[in-house]
């Protein structure tokens, strides 16, 4: 993880030239720090938003390509070690064909299952144009949320980092999945 003081220094010295590549690697926390620096007028908010969305999409495309070009090429023995059996890959493909858009949006907005869902979209050979379109649209509110968080509460980055810990994101994802399951159960069975 990148030290926050060093990150702030680099971003104030080099601006968008360092912001975009760092956001590809360390998305949410870089976005929060960028929002904070924008609130201090160190960097321009008008330029930060497109750079952060672009960085988020570039990172997600890299995960998509990883899934597309590596998962299917794993030997069955290695696939089993990583939990990627042929049966699971075919299940993923069916799931993404049925509701790939919903899976991507939920994974992007909860931030907890992003790596798995983005890689699975590639492994399931989801159409790249659909992936790119849906992913970009889902990246915008996510980026704006973290940017606003940094803009309004950036000086409390240590607390924000704890909120974005993997365990907190997992808990949030589980709550959202439970709500979604209850919703779909209600819709299926009716009132």
What's the domain count of the chain?
Answer: 1
At residue 183, φ and ψ (nearest 5 deg) are -60, -50
Range of the domain at 92: 4-189
Q: Which positions of the chain have pLDDT values less than 70? A: 1-15, 72-76, 78-86, 88-89, 111-113, 154-165, 167-169, 172, 190-191
Query: Each residue of 41-90: pLDDT tens digit?
Result: 888 888 889 999 999 999 999 989 988 888 766 666 766 666 666 676 67
DSSP letter, residue 154: G
C-alpha distances in Å from residue 81, one per residue of 74, 77, 86, 175:
10, 6, 12, 29
pLDDT at 126 (0 to 100): 87
Structure-token pair, residue 74: 């794993």
Where are the alpha helices (H) located in the chain, listed in sequence order?
Answer: 4-14, 16-25, 27-39, 45-70, 76-81, 86-110, 114-123, 128-153, 157-163, 166-189
Look up the pTM and report it.
Answer: 0.68
Alpha-carbon distance of 11 to 18, in angstroms, equals 6
| Beta carbons within 10 angstroms of residue 142's beta carbon | 21
């Amino acid at each position: 993880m990148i030290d926050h003081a060093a990150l702030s220094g680099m971003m104030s010295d080099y601006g968008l030239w360092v912001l975009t590549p760092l956001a590809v690697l360390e998305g949410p926390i870089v976005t929060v720090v960028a929002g904070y620096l924008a609130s201090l007028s160190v960097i321009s908010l008008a330029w930060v938003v497109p750079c952060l969305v672009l960085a988020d999409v570039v990172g997600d495309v890299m995960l998509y390509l990883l899934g597309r070009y590596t998962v299917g090429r794993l030997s069955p023995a290695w696939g089993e070690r990583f939990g990627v059996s042929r049966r699971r890959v075919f299940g993923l493909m069916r799931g993404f064909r049925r509701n790939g858009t919903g899976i991507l949006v939920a994974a992007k907005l909860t931030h907890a299952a992003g790596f798995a869902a983005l890689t699975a979209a590639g492994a399931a050979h989801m159409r790249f144009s659909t992936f790119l379109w849906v992913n970009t649209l889902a990246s915008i509110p996510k980026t704006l949320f973290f940017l606003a968080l940094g803009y309004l509460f950036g000086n409390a980055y240590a607390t924000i980092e704890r909120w974005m810990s993997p365990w907190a994101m997992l808990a949030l994802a589980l709550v959202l999945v439970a709500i979604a399951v209850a919703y779909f159960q209600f819709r299926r069975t009716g009132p």
